[in-house]
Amino acid sequence: MEFDTFMQSRILTGLTLGFHIIFATIGVGVPVMIMIAEWMGIRKNDPHYRLLARRWARGFTVTVAVGVVTGTAIGMQLSLLWPSFMQLAGQVIALPLFMETFAFFFEAIFLGIYLYTWDRFKKPIYHCLLVIPVVIGSSASAFFITTVNAFMNTPQGFKLENGVITGIEPLKAMFNPATPTKVAHVLSSAYLTSAFVLAAITAWFILRGSRSDYYQKALRLTMTWSLVFAIATAVIGDLSGKFLAEYQPEKLAAAEWHFETEKQADLILGGVLDKETLEVKGELRIPMALSILAGSHPDTEVTGLNEFPRDLWPPLYVHYLFDLMVGIGMYLAAVAGLFVLVRIWKKKHEWNPWLLRLIVLGGPLSMLAIELGWIFTEVGRQPWILRGFMRTDEGVTTSANVGQMLVLFSGLYAVLGIVCTVVLIRMFRKNPPEKEMGKRGIEGGGQHVV
Partner 1 sequence: MSYELIGITVLWLFLYGYVIVASIDFGAGFFSYYGKVTGKGEVINQVINRYLSPVWEVTNVFLIFFLVGIVGFFPDTAYYFGTALLVPGSIALILLAIRGSFYAFHHYGSKPNTFYEFLYGTTGLLIPASLATILTISEGGFIEKKGNEVVLLMDTLLKSPYSWSVVLLALVSVLFISASFLTYYAHKAEDYEAERVLHKWALGWSLPTIFASFLVFVAMSDHNMQHFTSMLDNSWMFVVSMGFFTLAVYLLMVRKYYGWMFLSVLLQFGFAFFGYGKSHLPYILYPYITVQGSVNNPVMAQALIWAFIGGLSLLVPSLLLLMKLFLFDAKYVKGR
DSSP 173-223: HHT-TTHHHHHHHHHHHHHHHHHHHHHHHHHHHHHTT--SHHHHHHHHHHH
Q: Which is nearer to partner 1, 28 or 358 (CB)?
A: 28
* Number of neighbours of residue 288 by Cβ within 10 angstroms: 17
52: nearest Cα among 263, 283, 227, 215:
215
**Which residues inside 170-229 make contact with partner 1, applying CB under 8 A?**
170-171
In angstroms, the Cα distances linking 119 to 116, 124, 230, 438 are 8, 8, 35, 17
Our finding on whether 104 is near partner 1 (CB under 8 A) is: yes
At its nearest, how many Å lie between partner 1 and the CB of residue 410?
A: 11
- Exactly one of 196, 225, 374, 409 binds partner 1 (CB under 8 A); that residue is 409
- Exactly one of 125, 278, 408, 449 binds partner 1 (CB under 8 A); that residue is 408
At its nearest, how many Å lie between partner 1 and the CB of residue 335?
A: 31
Q: Which is nearer to partner 1, 159 or 263 (CB)?
A: 159
Q: Which is nearer to partner 1, 165 or 342 (CB)?
A: 165
Measured distance CA(64)–CA(23) in Å, rounded: 7
- Exactly one of 401, 440, 447, 448 binds partner 1 (CB under 8 A); that residue is 401
- Give the bridge partners for 267, in sequence order: 286
At its nearest, how many Å lie between partner 1 and the CB of residue 112?
A: 4
Q: DSSP 3-state assignment of 380?
A: coil
Q: Which is nearer to partner 1, 36 or 93 (CB)?
A: 93
Measured distance CA(161)–CA(164) in Å, rounded: 5
- Exactly one of 43, 398, 441, 450 binds partner 1 (CB under 8 A); that residue is 398
Q: Which is nearer to partner 1, 91 or 264 (CB)?
A: 91
Measured distance CA(197)–CA(50) in Å, rounded: 19
**Which residues inside 254-273 make contact with partner 1, applying CB under 8 A?**
none
Measured distance CA(52)–CA(218) in Å, rounded: 7
DSSP 29-88: HHHHHHHHHHHHHHHTT-HHHHHHHHHHHHHHHHHHHHHHHHHHHHHHHHHHH-HHHHHH
Between helix 179-207 and helix 131-153 the angle, nearest 10°, is 130
Q: Which is nearer to partner 1, 31 or 249 (CB)?
A: 31
Q: Which is nearer to partner 1, 388 or 411 (CB)?
A: 411
Q: DSSP 3-state assignment of 135?
A: helix
State which H helix or E strand residue 241 sits in: helix 213-247
**Which residues inside 49-68 make contact with partner 1, applying CB under 8 A?**
58, 61-62, 64-66, 68
> Identity (one letter) of the amino acid at 222?
T
Our finding on whether 11 is near partner 1 (CB under 8 A) is: no
Binding mask 119-148 for partner 1 (x = CB under 8 A): -x------------x---------------
**Which residues inside 80-99 make contact with partner 1, applying CB under 8 A?**
80-84, 86-88, 90-92, 94-95, 97-99
At its nearest, how many Å lie between partner 1 and the CB of residue 122?
A: 14
- Exactly one of 34, 37, 111, 358 binds partner 1 (CB under 8 A); that residue is 111
- Exactly one of 76, 125, 272, 414 binds partner 1 (CB under 8 A); that residue is 76
Which ranges in 280-352 belong to alpha helices (H)? Answer: 289-295, 318-345
288: nearest Cα among 278, 301, 273:
301
Q: Phi first, then psi: what are they for 391, rounded to 5°?
A: -80, 155
**Which residues inside 420-449 make contact with partner 1, applying CB under 8 A?**
420, 423, 426-427, 429-431
On the CB side of 42, CA atoms within 13 Å amount to 13
At its nearest, how many Å lie between partner 1 and the CB of residue 205?
A: 17
- Exactly one of 13, 77, 179, 300 binds partner 1 (CB under 8 A); that residue is 77
Q: Which is nearer to partner 1, 141 or 291 (CB)?
A: 141
Our finding on whether 117 is near partner 1 (CB under 8 A) is: yes
At its nearest, how many Å lie between partner 1 and the CB of residue 118?
A: 12
- Exactly one of 122, 162, 163, 166 binds partner 1 (CB under 8 A); that residue is 166
Only segment of 103-111, 196-204, 225-233, 307-315 that touches partner 1 (CB under 8 A): 103-111
At its nearest, how many Å lie between partner 1 and the CB of residue 441?
A: 22
At its nearest, how many Å lie between partner 1 and the CB of residue 47?
A: 22
- Exactly one of 35, 115, 334, 338 binds partner 1 (CB under 8 A); that residue is 115
User: In sequence order, which residues have a C-beta less than 8 Å from that of residue 37 and are 6 or more positions away?
Assistant: 49, 50, 52, 53, 56, 221
